[in-house]
Structure 1
């Protein structure tokens, strides 16, 4: 990852056509992820953890990682369509992955966690299976984040509850363990320069809502974005031959 952005949203800049385009673009990603779930059990009955981890996002090539709340899926899809329409930028929406975590967990539990001869599950085995699945998913998400050139975090009331005023403190709380994990890791993940990202991308082309838990979240390490910034970015890209992400970095005075 080169740069992360804290995109504060109250309403959308994109329209229904952008949303439909985003849904179309990411239907393929969701289909890829879902298609791998049934192939995770090895021939000897042992789950192949490496295969699981690698198969969450098979051959998905994206420049922007979109982190969002489950409640903001429509915003995320609309943004993805808007980015593709105006900048020809491909995005990865994190819910394409963790949306199927429960499906994988059900597969694992059915095969390995049932009590023999009963319709119940082993509590201890389910604890272990949940830990394994979530750890593998978290690792796969971090790998995808590392591959993307930048991250857009959709900062809405659904994703973060401000501790005071989010614009001033840049801190708050979230009830989503996935948002907590992604934002925390985005501040720790290695930074790669733009040339590294684009060279690798060109080479590649050539070849838990029910738990009352809260996590403290800080977005200080993310550059602030809002709808006015996005609109200015779109207008600037319309009259420039520069790479659209370079325009965004310069507009937000990010070092290149």
Structure 2
């Protein structure tokens, strides 16, 4: 990862981009092998590395899009916009790796079901869920590391304002993705000689309420550059008359003016 952008755009995007976005991500999902029984060894042990490789493969993309699953349609339209205007491929985990629940159910049905075949063991399900979520989180971290840029789709579905300064999210996955961008090595593309910076992270947990568990994570977005629909239009206009990599044009429009650290 090289740069992060805090994307604040209207509630809707042009529907003309949606079909292209769906087409791109249909091609990506074809690479997923979501068969589970093939991953069980003769001794009954599941090969976790093979599960990650088959169910959550690393796919070559330019941009990782962090978003709420409630904004999946907007995310798909944004992916179509970025591809049609810049030829950039966007990774949307909810469309490519939306198989984690299916994987978890396959494991639970086989290993966690009580003898009555109607309920699951609480302890066994805790164990299986921790494994599947660890697999998914590991794959997400690798995917973020492999993409050059990360866009955070900042909407009311992904962020709830604590006050006028801080933002919070109820999504553990969004928190994990943003936290990852603060800790992974910042990699300058070979075509650039620009310096990048690293950041510290912090976390704040609110108390859960009765009956419905709610956990809030404070999001540290200071290392993300704010990007609006107007900024994207400026980017499109500039890229039309340039032979440079379109991401370079985005970076040039949004220079980093804080302290820098040369990456390794």
Q: Fold-level match, TM-score > 0.5?
A: yes
**Greater fraction helix:** 1
CA contact (8 A) 2:55 2:99 kept: no
Distance in 1, matches of 2:251 and 2:83, equals: 18
- Partner residue of 2:223? 221
Question: What's the Cα RMSD here?
Answer: 2.1
Misfit runs of 4+, over 6 Å: none
Distance in 2, matches of 1:96 and 1:26, equals: 7
- Alpha-carbon shift at residue 223 of structure 1 (Å): 1.1
- Partner residue of 1:200? none
- Alpha-carbon shift at residue 196 of structure 1 (Å): 8.1
Does 2:229 align with 1:234? no
Which of 169, 173, 181 aligns to 1:174? It is: 169
Distance in 2, matches of 1:74 and 1:252, equals: 27
Unaligned runs of 5+ in 2: 193-211
Distance in 2, matches of 1:100 and 1:54, equals: 13
Deviation track 1:74-110 (CA, whole Å, cap 9, x = no partner) reads 1110110111101001110021355221111001101
Between 1:104-113 and 1:26-35, the stretch displaced more is 26-35
Q: 1:141 to 1:38 in 2, by over 3 A?
A: farther
Describe how 1:45-64 pairs up with structure 2 within 5 A: 45-58=44-57, 60-64=59-63
- Alpha-carbon shift at residue 154 of structure 1 (Å): 0.1
Q: How many residues are paired up?
A: 239
Distance in 2, matches of 1:196 and 1:56, equals: 32
CA contact (8 A) 1:33 1:96 kept: no
- Alpha-carbon shift at residue 41 of structure 1 (Å): 2.6
Distance in 1, matches of 2:94 and 2:245, equals: 27
Distance in 1, matches of 2:129 and 2:56, equals: 20
CA contact (8 A) 1:159 1:176 kept: yes
Distance in 1, matches of 2:149 and 2:160, equals: 24
**SS of corresponding position for 1:119:** coil
**SS of corresponding position for 1:4:** strand
TM-score (norm 2): 0.84
Unaligned runs of 5+ in 1: 198-209
Between 1:27-36 and 1:56-65, the stretch displaced more is 27-36
